[in-house]
Amino acid sequence: MSFLEIAIIILYLVAVGWLGWMGYSKTKTSTDYLLAGRDTHPFVMALSYGATFISTAAIVGFGGVAAWLGNSLLWLTFLNIFVGVFIAFVFIGNPTRKMGLRLDAHTFPEFLGKRYDSKFIQIFAAVIILAFMPLYATAVLIGGVQFLSVYFGVNYHIALLIFSLIITAYVLAGGLKGVMYTDALQGSIMFIAMVFLIVMVVSSLGGIDAAFAKLDHVWQVTVVDRLSGVSLKELVPGSGDFMMKLSQLWGFEGWNKMPVFMSPGWLFVITTITLGVGIGVLAQPQLIVRFMTVKSKKELNRAVLVGGVFILAMTGVIFVVGSLTNAWYFENMGGKNALEAAGAIGKVIPHFINSAMPHWFSFIFLFALISAAMSTLSSQFHTMGTAVGRDIFESLGADKEKTTLWTKIGIVIVILFSVFLAYKFQKAPAIIARSTAIFFALCASIFLPSFIFGLFSKRITKPAAIASMLVGFFASSFWLLFCHFKEAKSLGIAKALFGVNSILGHSKWAFVDALVIALPLSTLTLLIVTALTKPDENIIKRAFGRN
């Protein structure tokens, strides 16, 4: 590395350390540690929300998927902005903030538990977080550490240790204030890198119109012409040609087109990618708690524009760039598409950055990826730590004066567990790679009906919320284990029991995401049980006030 690169790395670490210290110096109470004092600036809140949402999985993983499936993924960008930012901030954020303040809730499980006056709900929600979020965190941790180890030429285990220690230091010391301050810095770096990336890629392909025209041409040459009449049996499984042929069989007709309506490809893009992630964001505990960190509705409204532009720059740019890499590789790599040149979906974006971009930009993009990993991980570790300290130990009778201490102990435990998983699964097996989709589907199916209906309706009852959460858990778990082709194949339980990757075989239903099945069932359960039971007036008064 050059002296300048070393200086920038030191400056970055100093900035992270300083922001962590700022969080520490302003943290005086458990409310400060758990909710950043409920007085966060809207700009910081919006960037923290976006940076927590967007991880290395979104940039590298979904960027590679876009190289395979094309710009149909932009429907996810639309849903991320419309649902994940506009609907969330304008319609859900303020009621969550107000109810959380009335109930004196400091975590998402505590919010649900106090809304329905149920310790079971609070502890159950905390257990779900502790059971499944570590897999999600491990996937992000592996992605960040692998880039560090490759770029700097250091051992994976050394990079894992250093990376984990840095995150541990500022999360433990600064609490949510420290996490959100560093998120804002990291989100700014990610935004700048993405703006540079889209400008450089489009310019290298001759402008916007020329770039997309070339993309259509490359599809015709490398997919339609080359693979006409070729069966999957004639191709090497996992190769670029194999994946392109598979996308054809799924109903894809080009990188600039949506797949054929109701084809397996259409169901995969719409249910698993667009709805699975786009709707699932509303039930993410580490994001919902951000709404309780601001002091008024005004701050949430001011954060909408910042959050929307940030998500557009993150997902919109990486999806378009991922798709356009096919045109660049075709022109510069002997007529190959992106998957042929890079070798795998997860390698497309890193390979493209190292092959197509100048060294100085590769350095900037490295920081964007590290920032994406650190911002997501710090929020996940804080959320899991609060689940241990606030939602489990305090709920079971631990001294409230020691909540912050138990939370810090919880943070250390979950970090050690995540590091162990990252060490154990450093080759990133399929189940780790699928952890984001699994966690989003589970959270939406389990939490979303009780959260949204309980936020706006006084009629929803405790038995209804409990029944809905249990149905959401069992329905989504069953679909993930035995039905949905990606997760069922990765988990291998259906194969072990029944000899098939999915009990649905090659039916189109095997391409439908668990959220699309489990969320309606949990919602229907909530409404039916509510109709058969009566709400407790005391609970309603505490949650909604006396008016």
- Segment 334-342 shows an average pLDDT of 85
Q: Is the pLDDT of residue 48 over 60?
A: yes
Q: What 8-state DSSP symbol labels residue 536?
A: -
Q: What 8-state DSSP symbol labels residue 222?
A: I
Residue 110, phi-psi category: left (phi > 0), alpha (psi -120 to 50), beta (remainder): alpha
Contacts of 426-432 with CB under 8 Å at 24 or more apart are 426/142, 426/145, 426/146, 426/156, 426/160, 428/139, 428/142, 428/143, 428/146, 428/346, 429/490, 430/489, 430/490, 431/135, 431/490, 431/491, 432/135, 432/138, 432/139, 432/142
At residue 317, the pLDDT reads 94
At residue 476, the pLDDT reads 93
Contacts of 235-242 with CB under 8 Å at 24 or more apart are 238/344, 239/339, 239/340, 240/336, 240/337, 240/338, 240/339, 240/340, 240/341, 240/343, 241/340
Decide: 54 and 315 in contact? Cβ < 8 Å.
Answer: yes
- Segment 299-316 shows an average pLDDT of 91
Q: Does domain 3-424 have CATH number 3.40.50.300?
A: no
Decide: 312 and 82 in contact? Cβ < 8 Å.
Answer: no
At residue 98, the pLDDT reads 93
Q: Which residue has the tokens 């950055």?
A: 353
**Confidence class of residue 235 from pLDDT cuts 50, 70 and 90?**
confident
- Segment 510-529 shows an average pLDDT of 93
Least confident of 56-70, 123-137, 454-468, 524-538: 56-70
Question: Each residue of 448-475: pLDDT tens digit?
Answer: 999 999 999 999 999 999 999 999 999 9
**Confidence class of residue 229 from pLDDT cuts 50, 70 and 90?**
confident
Task: Please give the mean pLDDT across all residues of the chain.
Answer: 88
Domain boundaries, the chain: 3-424, 434-547
